[in-house]
Amino acid sequence: MTGTNSAGRILAILDVFSESQPEWTSEQLMEKLGYSRPTLFRYLKALREAGLVTSLSGGAYALGPRLVELDYLMRRSDPLIRHGRAHLQSLVAKYPCSGLLVRWYGQKLLCVASECSDKNAVTSYPRGRPMPLARGAISRVIMAFLPRRRLEALVDEQSGDFAAIGLGTSVDAIAGTLRAVRRDRVAVAHGEVTPGVIGVAGPVFDAGSVPIASLSVTISGHNVSAELLRAIRTDVRHAAAILSETLDRDRNTGIAEPERPYITKVG
């Protein structure tokens, strides 16, 4: 067994913890992962010493406090969050909404920062909870820029969800729908993720051709007229574009400049 394989097998333990099952016993872990008892306990010892898992009463294990520390460091160091938060704050100051920064990594969408000005805001996916891949403006504005091969893989995995929201059942049909999103650089979805909530999202790039994230606004459908929705679309599109420019400049120069939030004037 190589060091790389050992590392992968240790990390696989962290992957089994989920919202539906946040605690695991050693017996459950052995059955799930197929590790021998000595191997499992060696890995658990390493994870406990690193603070990545913690022991509970009854012989169970849960995620450990080191993850909270890493989360704090990530929020302070991630350029997307550092530069993007000012844009979120400007958007929620102008509209009664929630503003979200959602990272795309692997095959997941994860909210990494949010701001809110609507006291009655409803969200199904707060910071840290993975979002659906085939529903909502956030997903659509990222999928619109994916290479054909990656889009095909997503369609194969999520065909039922794509069909349910009317995007189509074939790659060609879905790609045709996404072309308009790619052209406009903004996506709008009505109640696809949370009933009664409109999502508006723009793609965020850092130098490549595929977005690393989405900057978005979610707002109650009761608060949105056609005119207001057009204004939100414009602001989200431009905020995402300016954030992308900032991240690209930082990557090329290594110099972090102050955020420049873009918000159109009211009226």
Q: For the segment 158-171, what is each residue's pLDDT rounded down to a tens digit?
A: 666 666 566 666 78
Give 31's pLDDT tier (boundaries 50, 70, 90): very high
The vertex-56 CA angle with 53 and 58, nearest 5°, equals 135
> Which sign does the torsion angle of CA 174, 179, 182, 187 carry?
negative
Q: What percent of the chain is modeled with pLDDT above 70? A: 87
Give the span between the Cα atoms of 233 and 97, in whole angstroms. 13
Average pLDDT over residues 200-220: 93
Q: Which helix (H) or strand (E) holds 230?
A: helix 226-253
Average pLDDT over residues 66-80: 92
**pLDDT for residue 1 is more than 50:** no
Give 262's pLDDT tier (boundaries 50, 70, 90): low
Using one digit for the tens of pLDDT, what is the confidence trace for 130-185? Answer: 877 778 899 889 989 988 888 888 777 766 666 656 666 678 888 888 899 999 99
pLDDT of res. 216: 95
Half-sphere exposure of 168 (CA within 13 A, CB side): 13
Give 115's pLDDT tier (boundaries 50, 70, 90): very high
**pLDDT for residue 2 is more than 50:** no
**pLDDT for residue 48 is more than 70:** yes
pLDDT greater at residue 97 or residue 266: 97
Q: Which helix (H) or strand (E) holds 6?
A: helix 3-15
Which pTM was predicted? Answer: 0.79
Give the span between the Cα atoms of 36 and 34, in whole angstroms. 7
pLDDT of res. 267: 42
**pLDDT for residue 55 is more than 80:** yes
Average pLDDT, the chain: 86
Taken in order of first residue, the domains within the chain and their CATH numbers are 3-68 (1.10.10.10), 78-253 (3.30.450.40)
Q: Highest-confidence range of 3-12, 35-44, 71-80, by mean pLDDT? A: 35-44
**pLDDT for residue 105 is more than 90:** no
Give the Cβ contact number of residue 138 at 10 Å.
Answer: 32
pLDDT of res. 171: 80
